Chain A
Amino acid sequence: EAQVTQNPRYLITVTGKKLTVTCSQNMNHEYMSWYRQDPGLGLRQIYYSMNVEVTDKGDVPEGYKVSRKEKRNFPLILESPSPNQTSLYFCASSFVGGSGANVLTFGAGSRLTVL
């Protein structure tokens, strides 16, 4: 089944304790992206990657890191989490090219709470 898999789905952590949210897709997509969803703000892009070893900042990159060493994986790293990073995080992927109407496939989400 074609899918984007995120782990963990739920995590409660404390301020300053480094954590990684993994994302893996099995569709051979070039493009991968991380979003955070907050009430009243909708979805905001954190980082994206157009292909292996190619990453770039989205709209809200502060406090996050990413890497793209393999095509299928795009982990999100919080080096020193803070309470304002409490949010629902989504990973998404798609093919690149075409008319700009490429459809994103989303993971099920990772709910992170930072105390």
Chain B
Amino acid sequence: GDSVTQMEGPVTLSEEAFLTINCTYTATGYPSLFWYVQYPGEGLQLLLKATKADDKGSNKGFEATYRKETTSFHLEKGSVQVSDSAVYFCALNPTGANSKLTFGKGITLSVRP
């Protein structure tokens, strides 16, 4: 079945450090890929998405590129801020399956001043 694998956490970085959070997926066809973010005490919200191979999603300085050849959707940011501290979830929506997201386990990012 469909699945999403995220790198193990938690991750702790200093402010202005470079961030990479790995995400790989298993799915048939051409799923849509997402990154959701959960700030402390809040629900999840969409960070960025990509719907086809080689698409790059970007938002708030974060980027992720849909790589079909490596079945990956790694999240990157060039310079993290304390306000980026949150839990990050990679997710996929299988081809034709409206709205049914399969989530990775999430990874907690803590950014130190």
Contact = CB atoms under 8 A, between A and B. Distances in A.
Q: Do A and B come from one complex?
A: yes
Interface in A4-51: 4, 31, 33, 35, 40-45, 48, 50
Q: What's the dominant secondary structure at chain B's contact region? A: loop
A102 interface: yes
Given A31-B99, A42-B103, A94-B99, A101 B44 contact: no
A96 B98 contact: yes
Contacts of B32: 99-101
B46 A100 contact: no
Interface stretch (B13-21, B69-77, B89-97): B89-97
A102 B94 CA distance: 11
A100 B97 CA distance: 6
A106 B43 contact: yes
B96 A43 contact: no
A90 B95 contact: no
A70 B93 CA distance: 26
Contacts of B104: 42
A90 B103 contact: no
Interface of B: 31-32, 34, 36, 41-46, 49, 51, 89, 93-101, 103-106
A30 B7 CA distance: 33
Nearest to B44: A106
A99 B99 contact: no
Contacts, number: 67
A91 B90 CA distance: 18
Interface of A: 4, 31, 33, 35, 40-45, 48, 50, 90, 92, 94, 96-104, 106-109
Contact of A106 (B45, B96, B97): B45
Contacts of A45: 100-101
Nearest to A108: B43
Contacts of A92: 43-44
B43 A109 contact: yes
Contacts of B98: 31, 50, 96-98, 100, 102
Contacts of B36: 104
